[in-house]
Structure 1
Amino acid sequence: MNLKDRAQGAIVGAFIGDAIALGPHWYYDLDEQHKDYGEWITTYTTPKKGRYHEHEEKGNQSQSGYILKLMIKSLIENKAYNQEDFCKKLDEDLFTKIDGIPTHGPGGYTSQSIREVYRQRVEQKLPWDKVGSRADTTEGIERTLALAVLYALNTKELAKSISHNTFLTQVDDIVGSMTVAYGAVLAQLIQGEKLDKDISTKLMKLVKKGELPFHAVTSDNLKPPKDGAKDPSNIGLFASPDALLSPSFMAQAANDKDIKIEPAWKVSLVYGMPCAIYHMLPACYYLSARFNDDFESAILHALNGGGQNQARSILTGALVGAQVGLKNIPQRFIDGLNEKEEILELAKKLSDIIEE
């Protein structure tokens, strides 16, 4: 397994996570989910009438997958992140297909942050540098995970491009910091590092080297600051590195024999079913550490946890896909994608331009 295989695994894993949750998306009543889809969902399903994606076919992508494809196409065409080009794609290829109503648009549902920016761009005619929402969700991660792949070996550019792209639609610093942190974790996994108790130590070393834009006053291994050490400037920095520290704790919990979450899908009950980023990321890190070499178990436990299981599956799919590589993702998950050939081609082309 090499870097390109892991990079392609991350991209394909994200698309699988998006499509596999299309049917049972947003069931907060698990009894209702079990009634519609059975106790354990194992594959792609057709959305039920009256649900969020009712007019879509099983194996289709939601709007998250649609936007992720726009991002990847822009990266491939420009061989780098070009914000102007990505914004143009949103204006021409997305905003012309939505109308600000939640249940309309590609994939059958348009998220809060995208609806708000649509209104600002199309109805209020605001320039791109004047738009954004207070949505505390993971839409930023769902598209910028492609930036983490492209810049897996260039941490500074990763942080810069992910933060700039996230703030197009979500202007909260906490959301920004957690989105950049996820991208940094994904990049480490693409490099071949492990999602374990040491992952945060590696990330903090990048902070100390000035490659990740987080404010940190502690010395090595979170020890007290050295006597006389200067307080780092906050200009251009996220306020706290805590978003970089949490993955290690989730990984420790996943591997601690005294901490039992059984079955593993109940991690959604432990960390919460809702859409907010602070519910999603802990569950994704936990599942991705626990099933670091088992894509099928990771994606199915993310899926069967109910609530915002689509975001949980996308983010987990990318993290575990990066750990197992494309060649170790079960073929049945790839074959079930209705856009299989296009997705595989995009993943390969993106991996071919990863910056050395």
Structure 2
Amino acid sequence: MTDLSFQDRAKGALLGAVIGDAMGLGPHWYYDLEALRRDFGEWISDYTTPKAGRYHEGLKAGNLSQAGIILTLMMESLADCGTYEEEDFCRRLDEELFPLLDGTPAHGPGGYTSQSIREAWRRRVQQKLPWGQTGGHADTTEAIERTLALAVFYAGNPAALARTVASNTVLTQTDETVVSMTVAFGAVLGMLVQGHRLDAALSEKLMGLVKDGELPFHAVTAANLQPPRPGDPDPPRAGRFASPDALLSPSYMARAAADPDIRIEPAWKVSLVYGMPCAIYHQLPAAYYLAARFSDDFESAILHAVNGGGQNQARAMLTGALVGAQTGYTGIPTRFIDGLTEADRLCRLVQRIAHRAEGQAGRL
């Protein structure tokens, strides 16, 4: 456990995600790394303005993408309601986001609208379907990018964390594997906000929560992944997810980061090892690896996430949350905070969430 305060870790996680989103704005979705280096130099070290003809054209360095904007809507809902009120969050999407969309990718706040949000817009606005019938099959991290605020808010209550993250995820993404991996990321982030480290022991702690019925995953092995013995009863299902594997991945990535015989050099090449595309199964291993390798170095983690190209915005957003929870707000270099557009407003919002999250944890 770290000696940082709960509020410091909570603020670090939320602001780390916001910073990661803004850092990825300019160099977003370059799958040709030579083109990325031509446009932004050999090493991206700060916020950048998107180039003409690229994603997010017209925005400025330090702006948020639509993912960051939706995250702020979630944070505003939590701060105003003092709890997760799904009706309130959905109302904000209906009133503050969907009127600005037209169902096409290169349109809307932040300069780009993701697949899952476009599908939800079509079902909600064009087809007039109720919330709850709006989810599609995108296999991306788009739900993580907003529910990470729920993970911070309910860090002290894993059962509430899992319930709210799952409920919010299916508003836009219904694939059960994606939902389980999204909930698992939230559970990991919640543990880091509590003060645990992203290390080889973390997954066993998460499996303990499964066995206690606090996380909705099914486990068939005994402690330390030992096989069941003859005559052992089938363990009761803790919830909806058939496999706990999404909870085991983080510690494998942490072991890889700590193993002197496994070196990814430079670390930005994690994008080549685990994959540059958008799918959740490419993004999470890279984010876990970087967050474990640079657990006390926010700058290195976020810059290696961005410089790896591909879907570097999501990679930086997720890495920023995980590392920010470990370094705390006080461990984030000031220049990353100062460079954000509307930094004062975002810092006040993050403070409100962190204060309420600590109150939630204190009531348990």
- Look up the match of 1:350: 353
| Match of residue 335, structure 1, among 319, 323, 338 | 338
- Look up the match of 1:62: 65
State the AA in 2 paired with 1:267. V
TM-superposed deviation, 1:280: 0.2
Asked if 1:300 is matched to 2:303, the reply is: yes
TM-superposed deviation, 1:228: 2.9
Supply the distance in 1 between the matched residues of 2:134 and 2:110 (Cα, whole angstroms). 23
TM-superposed deviation, 1:230: 2.8
State the AA in 2 paired with 1:204. M
Asked if 1:288 is matched to 2:298, the reply is: no
- Look up the match of 1:158: 161
Supply the distance in 1 between the matched residues of 2:12 and 2:209 (Cα, whole angstroms). 24
Asked if 1:191 is matched to 2:227, the reply is: no
| Match of residue 19, structure 1, among 17, 22, 33 | 22
CA contact 2:213–2:238 (8 Å) conserved in 1: no
TM-superposed deviation, 1:342: 1.1
Moved more, 100-109 or 223-232: 223-232
1:132-151 aligned within 5 A: 132-151=135-154
Supply the distance in 1 between the matched residues of 2:173 and 2:67 (Cα, whole angstroms). 15
CA contact 2:215–2:238 (8 Å) conserved in 1: no
Supply the distance in 2 between the matched residues of 1:199 and 1:104 (Cα, whole angstroms). 40
Supply the distance in 1 between the matched residues of 2:106 and 2:233 (Cα, whole angstroms). 52
Asked if 1:90 is matched to 2:93, the reply is: yes
- Look up the match of 1:9: 12
Asked if 1:272 is matched to 2:275, the reply is: yes
Superimposed CA distance per residue, residues 183-207 of structure 1 (whole angstroms, 9 cap, x where no aligned partner)? 1110111111111100100000000
| Match of residue 75, structure 2, among 72, 77, 80 | 72
1:88-127 aligned within 5 A: 88-127=91-130
Supply the distance in 2 between the matched residues of 1:250 and 1:274 (Cα, whole angstroms). 18
- Look up the match of 2:212: 209
Q: Please state whether the residue corresponding to 1:148 is helix, strand or coil.
A: helix
Asked if 1:178 is matched to 2:170, the reply is: no
Supply the distance in 2 between the matched residues of 1:326 and 1:246 (Cα, whole angstroms). 26
Supply the distance in 2 between the matched residues of 1:145 and 1:206 (Cα, whole angstroms). 19
Supply the distance in 2 between the matched residues of 1:26 and 1:149 (Cα, whole angstroms). 27
- Look up the match of 1:130: 133
TM-superposed deviation, 1:232: 3.8
Q: Please state whether the residue corresponding to 2:100 is helix, strand or coil.
A: coil
TM-superposed deviation, 1:233: 4.7
Superimposed CA distance per residue, residues 170-220 of structure 1 (whole angstroms, 9 cap, x where no aligned partner)? 000110010011011101111111111001000000000000000111111
TM-superposed deviation, 1:235: 7.9
TM-superposed deviation, 1:229: 3.0
Provide the aligned length of Structure 1 versus Structure 2: 356
TM-superposed deviation, 1:2: 0.4
TM-score, normalisation: structure 1: 0.99
Superimposed CA distance per residue, residues 278-303 of structure 1 (whole angstroms, 9 cap, x where no aligned partner)? 00000000000000000000000000
State the AA in 1 paired with 2:169. T
Supply the distance in 2 between the matched residues of 1:41 and 1:53 (Cα, whole angstroms). 17
Supply the distance in 2 between the matched residues of 1:161 and 1:233 (Cα, whole angstroms). 22
Q: Please state whether the residue corresponding to 1:44 is helix, strand or coil.
A: coil
Unmatched 5+ residue regions in structure 1? none
Unmatched 5+ residue regions in structure 2? none
Moved more, 298-307 or 339-348: 339-348
TM-superposed deviation, 1:239: 1.1
Moved more, 153-162 or 221-230: 221-230
Asked if 1:45 is matched to 2:48, the reply is: yes
TM-superposed deviation, 1:226: 3.6
TM-superposed deviation, 1:234: 4.8
Q: What percentage of aligned pairs have identical amino acids?
A: 65
| Match of residue 239, structure 1, among 234, 238, 242 | 242
Superimposed CA distance per residue, residues 252-275 of structure 1 (whole angstroms, 9 cap, x where no aligned partner)? 000100001000000000000000
Q: Please state whether the residue corresponding to 2:143 is helix, strand or coil.
A: helix
Supply the distance in 2 between the matched residues of 1:148 and 1:114 (Cα, whole angstroms). 21
Superimposed CA distance per residue, residues 5-46 of structure 1 (whole angstroms, 9 cap, x where no aligned partner)? 000000000000000110000000000000000010000000
Moved more, 268-277 or 89-98: 89-98
- Look up the match of 2:172: 169
TM-score, normalisation: structure 2: 0.97
